[in-house]
Structure 1
Amino acid sequence: MLKPISTPTRELVNLDGVWRFAIDSRAGAEPWTGLLGTPLEAAVPASYNDLFVDPEIRDHVGWVYYQREVRVPRGWGGERVLLRFDAATHAAKVYVDDELAGEHVGGYLPFDVDITDRVAAGERFRLTVAVSGDLSNETIPPGKIEVGMNGKKKQTYFHDFYNYAGLARSVWLHSEPKTRIADVTVVTGFEGATGSVDWTVVTDGVDEARVRVSLSDAAGAPVATGQGASGSLTVPDVTLWQPGAAYLYELTVELLDEGDSVIDSYPVAVGVRTVEVRGHEFLINGEPFYFTGFGKHEDTAVRGKGHDDAYLVHDFQLMEWSGANSFRTSHYPYAEEVLDFADRHGIVVVDETAAVGLNMGVVGGMTGTPPFPTFSEQYAGAATQAAHAEHLRALITRDKNHASVVMWCIANEPASNEEGALEYFTPLVELARELDPTRPLTYAMVMFATFKNDRIIELFDVVSLNRYYGWYIATGDLATAETYLHGDIQGWIDRTGKPIMMTEYGADTQPGVHSVWDQAWTEEYQVDYLAMNHRVFDRFPQFIGEQVWNFADFATSNGIHRVEGNKKGVFTRDRKPKAAAWALRARWRGLEGRKPGSDGSTGAGSGEVTGADGADG
C-alpha cells in the first residue's frame, strides 16, 4: 500500500482538524444515520483520552465516533477516490453518509477505503468514523475486557504503556488513476564504487511491460533508467546511505499508455545500503555497526499517541545531541513520517510490531509463573497468531523501502521460555523472511527468558535483551547487579554465537531527587546504574549495541508502582534532560569511531538468573 503523496497523477486533501466527537454510550441512535448529537469536538490527529476532563471518556471501553463534512475536489471526476487513515487504534468502521464503506482491524498501521462509487467530484459527503480501542486475546496487542461490580466494562492489558485510542495520525482524501501503480519494492546493494537498485512494481489494470523507471541523485540529475515490472539499475560512483550520513536517490516509477503518455507516476526515496549479520557482528555497508540509542514511545502530554511534527523534529534533535545513532519503535510501528525523517537524517531504526504483552508470566509478577499457558486458546492461540501474521505483513509492506530500517523486531518480551513458543513463532519468522529476505530478525527478550530456557532464539539473527539488573533485581545493589549481568551476557554468547545487544535497560528516576547513596529513583542512581551496564557491555566484543529504556518518561496504566507514568526516561515527558542524559552524551560521543569490547576482555561469572518483573520496563 503506497503512501498518498502529490504527484503529476495523484492528488490529496488533508482532513486533519477538529471533528465532532461522541462515545457510543452517549451518541443515541446510530450516528451514521445523521449528524452526531454532541457538543464535543476532538482534534485529529490525537488520541482522544486526554483531550477531555471527563473520566468516562478517558477510560471508555467500546466505540467512539468522529464526524466531519468532506468535499471532493471538482477535478477528480474519473479518478479513484479513497480515504486514507494513517492509523485508527485499534479498529475502525468508516461510513460515507449513511452507509458502511469499509472496516479495518489493527492499530498503528494505515488502511485505505475506496469510496469512488459513493461520492461525486465537487460534492460534499458526511464522513463518520467509529473507532474502538478495545483489546482481546484476538488482537495485537492483546488484552481482555471484564465487567466490574458496578456493571461497567473495564479494559485490562498486559503492556506497560497507556492504551491510547482514536485517530492518532492523519486522515486523507486522495485520488489515484484507475490504472495505477499498486506497489513498489526496492532492494539495494553495491560492489566497490558501483551500486545497484533492484525494483519490482505491481500494477493494477495495465500490461506490466508498460512500466518505466528512472533514478536521479540528490541534486535531481539522472543516473539510470529502465523498463518493465522488475529489473536492476546500475549506479556508477554510488553514494551510500550511511548511519549519520544519509544520502537519498529518487526512483520515479511511471505507467505508460500505448502512446507513451504517463498514466500514473510515483516516486520512491532510495538509500543504497546493505545490512548483514556475520558471526557476532552486525554490518551496515560491510562495516561493523554499534547501536547507541533508545527505546522510544509515541507519547506526549494531551496528544497521547497523536503524531506531532514539532515533537518529531525536537526528539531527533535530542537524539543527535545525546550521540544516539538509532532507536527501536517500541512497541508498535510509528508514524511513517518518523521513518521518512530517519531516512533523511541517517538515524538507524529497529522496526517493531505491536505484539507486546504475549506473556502470561508477566501477570504472575515476580514469580514469573503464568496463571495459564501463554500459548493456548485461552490467550495467544490460533486467532492471535493470525492477527500477528496480518500485522507483520502490513508492517513489512509499509516499511520495506525505508533505508533507515535495518532490522525487524517480531515481538516485545514474549513468553519465549514457555512451551508452545516455538510453534507460535516459527510460521511468523518464516513469513517475515519470505516478505523480506534482506533484513535480520530479532525479538526483545523478557528477563524470564534465560540462555538456559529460551525456546526460540535459534530462529532469529540477533539476541536482543531487555534486562533490569539493579532495578527489578538487586535493586540498589549495583555490585551484585553487575555480576548477574556479566553472567547473563556470557551465557548467551556461549549458547548462540550471535550478535548481542541490549534493547532495554533503565531505572525509574524522579527528576530533582538526589542522594549521596545508591538510592533508587534518584538522578545519581540512574547515572550509576547506566555506568554499571556500560562497564559490562564493553567487556564483550560480541556485544553490538545499547538502547536505553527509555528516551522520555511516558504515560502508563494505573498502578501503584507508577507515579505519573513510567519515569525511566533520560528526558522528562516534556523533554527536559535528567543527569543521565548528560552522562549518555559523554559516553556515546566518546564511542564515535570505535567499537566497544574491541580489547576482547571477558572476565568470569556465568549463571542463570530467575524471577523478574521487567516487562516493558
Structure 2
Amino acid sequence: MKLTLRHALALLSSMLLWSMAGHAQVRIDMDHDWRFRTDATDAGIAADWPRATPAETRLVDVPHTWNIGKDDDYEGVAWYFKSFTVPASMLASHVELHFGATFYRSRVWVNGTEVGGHEGGHTAYALDIGRQLRAGENRIAVRLDNRPGEATIPGYAMRQLASGSVWYDWWHYGGIVRDVWLTVSDHALIRRQRIASKLGGDAASVSSQVFVENVDGADGSYSVTASIVDPDGKTVAQAQQNVSAKAGQAATATLAVTLPHPQLWNVGDARLYQWVTELHAADGSVLDSRSDTFGLRDIAIRDRRLYVNGKPVRLSGVSRHEDSPWEGLAESAGTIRRDWSDMAALHTTLTRPVHYPQNDEVLDFADRHGILLVPEIPVWQFSEAQLKNPRLLALAKHMMREMIEQDGNHASIFAWSVCNESDASLPGGRAYVDAMAALIRDIDPGRYVTYADADISSKPWKEAPVMHDVDFIMANAYFGSWSGSGNDVEAWLDFVDRTYPDKMVIISEFGYPGVFSHDSVSADKARSDNLLQQMDAFQKRSFIAGAIFWTYQDYKSHRNLWPGQTEGYVDHGLVDENRQRRPSYGIYEARNQALSVTTQWRVDAGGLRGFQATVSGYPATHLPSYPMLGYVAHWRAIDDRGQELAHGDEALRDLSQPIRFEGAWQAAGKGAAVHLAVDVTRPDGVRAGGVVSDYHPLNIGSDPFLPNKDEQP
C-alpha cells in the first residue's frame, strides 16, 4: 500500500491508537517538499547542517537532479533536507527510510544523528531510522557528492588518459534521482524474494526463496503463504511454509509449485505471472506482503545461436541513456514510458540497455513487451590498474549483487554485463572479469555472463583469451567511424568467426557519431547509410544473434562533441535530445521489421472491389527474426473523397508460414482512387509492420489481381 505522507500519517494516527499488530507494512511517499542547496566549499558538516537547515535553500520535489539549470555542470557536494511529522504511536514500530537511487555517494542524518549512507548512483537502499525518530517534527538531511575518482563506479576513464580527458561519456547528474519513501512494519517483514523457474514437458516448476527478517525484540514464528496468478488473472497455485527467526535475525522460506500447461513469455509476446507472498503472524494476521511478476521461458545458447523457448531468434534494438533536457537522470515514469514506447515502435526486442542499472519502470516495460535485456554496471573505459584495484573490485561486486538482488525476478533479463570498453584483454582485466563472472554464477546461476568490448574491433585484430571465459561475446563495432572503414566489417566478421568458433556474438554497439561529419544533417545521412550497410553485413553471419544500435536519443556529455564545444548533446541518436525524429529513425524502423506485408488489388469490370494481402515472417537467416504468434492485421480502405469503404481485422495465429487474406467492399466506381492501409500489431498492441497502398484507375485487362506498385512501408 502506497500513501502520500500527509494521508499516511493521518491514517497512522488513527491506526496507532492501538497496536500496529495485525496490519501489513505501510509505505509512505516522501517525494515532496525537500529543501536543496549546493555546498561548494564542503562546509556543511562543520556548519552543523545535519541538525539545522542552512539559509538559501530552494524547494524541490524528488526525483531531482541539481545538474539542470544554474548548477548544470556542478561537481561536488550538495544537500537535501526534509521535515516531517511522526505520531507518538508510530515510535513502537520498525521504520525504514528508502532511497530508489542517489547519485553518487550519500551520507544520511535523521534528527542530527548519522544513520548510514551508500555508494553508487543507480540502485536502491534502505536505512533503519526507528531509533532516531521522535514524536512530532523530525528532520532528514542528505549529503551527496557526485565527484568521480579512479575507484568510483562510474569513475575516471583512465584508458583515456593519453587523450587528456578522463571523464566518462555521459552527464554527472547528482541528486536524489529516484523515489524516496518510508516503510512502517511490526514484528517481521519480507526483505525480498527470489523466483526461479524451469520448464519441462508440459509443465513448469516454480519456486521462491522468501527472505524474512524479524524486526522484533523477541523470537518469532511465522507462516509464509504464496498465491500464483496466471496472465489471465486466475489463481492457479498456492503454497505455504512455516518459518522461525530469532530476535533481530533473518530466515529464509522456500516455496515451490508446479504449473501445468504454462503460458510462455516470448519475444514480443510477454505473458506474465504474478507471485504474491504474504507473511503471517502466529495468530494469522498479515504482517507483510510482496508481489513480483515473472515469466516462464527457456533461454539457451546452443551452436552459437540464441534460442527462446526452443526457437532460434535473431534480435535487434537500440540503447538509451536515462537523460533528457527536462529531467536528466531524475526521470519520471511518463518520460520512461514515452521513450520506451517509441523504442518498441522501432521493433526493439534486445538491448543492453545502457551502462548502468535501470529504473524499475524500464524493467517493467521490457517485461510487459517481451524485450530481452543485458543490464550492466558502469565500469566504463577502466584501465588494467583500476580493474586490479581491490577496492574497485569490491565495489563492483557490491553493485552487481545489489542489481541482481533488486532486479533478478524480471523475465526480460537473460544475461548480466560486468564492464564496458575496459582493459579486460590484459591479465588484470581478465582477473576482474573472471571474479565478477564467478560472483554472478554463484548468486544467479540461471543467467549468462558477458561484457561489452571495443578492443575486439580495433586494429590490429587479435585474439583475447578472456573472450573464452564469458558465455557469449558482446562487441562494440563502429565500422565507418572509430573502428575503421565501413567496408572493413566483412573482414572483421570473418576474423571473429575464425578466432572464436564456439562463441555466439551480439553487436552491443554500432552506429555513426555526428563528429565524423561536417554537420548534423550530413551526419544523419551517413548514419542511415551506415546502419543499412552494417545490418546487412551482420545478417550474413548466423553467429551474430543480435545487433544493438547506439543510440536512441542524443545525450549530454563532455565528450564526442562538435569541435569547439566543451559540453553539449552528443549527435548520435535516431532522435535528438528533444525526441525530434531524424530521417534515420524511419530508415531504422523499416529495416528492423521482422515481417513483410504485400498487397494485390482485386478488380473487375465494375471497378476496384477489394484486395488480397500476404503477411510473411522472415526466416531464421534474417536479422531480425523471431516467432510471431497471435498477431493481428488491421486494414482500412478510404475512397478519394475521404469516405471509408470498409475495414477489418484478420487473426495471424502463426507467421512461421505466410498468411494470405482478402478484404472487399462495394465497387468504388471505375474512376475512383482508393487508399488502403494495412497494419500488423503484436499481441501487446505494438505495431510490427505494414503497408500503405494507393490505387489509381488503369486498364486492367483480364487479371483480377493486380500487383500493387505503390506500397510504402
Give yes or no for TM over 0.5.
Answer: yes
SS in 2 for 1:582: helix
Number of the residue aligned with 2:111: 97
Question: Could you tell me whether the CA contact under 8 Å between 1:276 and 1:440 is conserved in 2?
Answer: no
Displacement of 1:274 in angstroms is: 2.1
Question: Could you tell me whether the CA contact under 8 Å between 2:456 and 2:462 is conserved in 1?
Answer: no
Displacement of 1:93 in angstroms is: 0.6
Number of the residue aligned with 2:642: none
Number of the residue aligned with 1:341: 365
Match of 2:403 among 389, 392, 395: 395
CA distance in 1, matches of 2:53, 2:297: 51
Displacement of 1:117 in angstroms is: 1.3
Displacement of 1:520 in angstroms is: 8.7
Q: How many residues align?
A: 557
CA distance in 2, matches of 1:442, 1:4: 40
Number of the residue aligned with 2:535: 534
Number of the residue aligned with 2:177: 168
SS in 2 for 1:550: coil
Question: Could you tell me whether the CA contact under 8 Å between 1:136 and 1:144 is conserved in 2?
Answer: no
Deviations 1:393-413 (A, max 9, x none): 111111110111111111111
Match of 1:576 among 572, 576, 580: 580
Q: How do 1:375-524 and structure 2 match up within 5 A? A: 375-376=384-385, 380-447=388-455, 452-474=462-484, 480-482=485-487, 484-496=488-500, 497-509=502-514, 521-524=522-525
Displacement of 1:345 in angstroms is: 2.6
CA distance in 1, matches of 2:540, 2:323: 34
Number of the residue aligned with 2:329: 305
1:597 aligned onto 2:621: yes
Question: Could you tell me whether the CA contact under 8 Å between 1:290 and 1:545 is conserved in 2?
Answer: yes
Q: Could you say if the C-alpha distance between residues 303 and 525 of structure 1 is closer, same or farther in structure 2, counting changes exceeding 3 Å?
A: same
Q: CA RMSD in A?
A: 2.9
Match of 2:75 among 58, 61, 80: 61
Question: Could you tell me whether the CA contact under 8 Å between 2:554 and 2:571 is conserved in 1?
Answer: yes
Number of the residue aligned with 2:300: 276
Q: Could you say if the C-alpha distance between residues 559 and 569 of structure 1 is closer, same or farther in structure 2, counting changes exceeding 3 Å?
A: closer
Displacement of 1:250 in angstroms is: 1.4
Specify the code of the residue in structure 1 equivalent to 2:332.
D
SS in 1 for 2:404: helix
CA distance in 1, matches of 2:168, 2:157: 12
Displacement of 1:528 in angstroms is: 0.5
Match of 1:190 among 199, 221, 239: 199
Q: Which one scores higher on RCO, CA 8 angstroms, separation ≥ 6?
A: 1
Deviations 1:77-112 (A, max 9, x none): 533211111111111011112111111111111110
Number of the residue aligned with 1:555: 556
CA distance in 2, matches of 1:513, 1:420: 40
1:134 aligned onto 2:134: no
In the alignment, structure 2 segments of 5+ residues that lack a partner are: 9-21, 159-163, 242-252, 597-616, 624-713
CA distance in 2, matches of 1:346, 1:4: 31
SS in 1 for 2:257: strand
CA distance in 1, matches of 2:289, 2:107: 30
In the alignment, structure 1 segments of 5+ residues that lack a partner are: 146-154, 359-373, 475-479, 600-617
Question: Could you tell me whether the CA contact under 8 Å between 1:193 and 1:238 is conserved in 2?
Answer: yes
Displacement of 1:72 in angstroms is: 3.6
Specify the code of the residue in structure 2 equivalent to 1:340.
D
Deviations 1:163-203 (A, max 9, x none): 21111111112223331222211012222432221111121
Question: Could you tell me whether the CA contact under 8 Å between 1:138 and 1:383 is conserved in 2?
Answer: yes
Specify the code of the residue in structure 1 equivalent to 2:419.
A
Deviations 1:273-304 (A, max 9, x none): 22221221112222222221112100000321
Deviations 1:115-142 (A, max 9, x none): 111114x632111111110211221112
Displacement of 1:554 in angstroms is: 0.4
Displacement of 1:47 in angstroms is: 1.8
CA distance in 1, matches of 2:222, 2:281: 10
Number of the residue aligned with 2:545: 544
SS in 2 for 1:494: helix
Q: Could you say if the C-alpha distance between residues 458 and 128 of structure 1 is closer, same or farther in structure 2, counting changes exceeding 3 Å?
A: same
Q: Normalized per residue, which structure has more strand?
A: 2
Question: Could you tell me whether the CA contact under 8 Å between 1:500 and 1:544 is conserved in 2?
Answer: yes
CA distance in 1, matches of 2:510, 2:440: 27
Displacement of 1:263 in angstroms is: 2.6
Q: Could you say if the C-alpha distance between residues 4 and 235 of structure 1 is closer, same or farther in structure 2, counting changes exceeding 3 Å?
A: farther
Match of 1:255 among 265, 279, 295: 279
Deviations 1:347-371 (A, max 9, x none): 222211121231xxxxxxxxxxxxx
Number of the residue aligned with 2:229: 216
Question: Could you tell me whether the CA contact under 8 Å between 1:82 and 1:114 is conserved in 2?
Answer: yes
Question: Could you tell me whether the CA contact under 8 Å between 2:101 and 2:122 is conserved in 1?
Answer: yes
Displacement of 1:559 in angstroms is: 6.1
Q: Could you say if the C-alpha distance between residues 583 and 191 of structure 1 is closer, same or farther in structure 2, counting changes exceeding 3 Å?
A: same
Whichever of the two has the greater Rg, that structure is 2
Deviates more, 1:586-595 or 1:501-510: 586-595
Q: TM-score, normalised by structure 2?
A: 0.73
SS in 2 for 1:456: helix
Percent identical residues: 25
Question: Could you tell me whether the CA contact under 8 Å between 1:501 and 1:546 is conserved in 2?
Answer: yes
Deviates more, 1:125-134 or 1:27-36: 27-36
Q: How do 1:98-113 and structure 2 match up within 5 A? A: 98-113=112-127
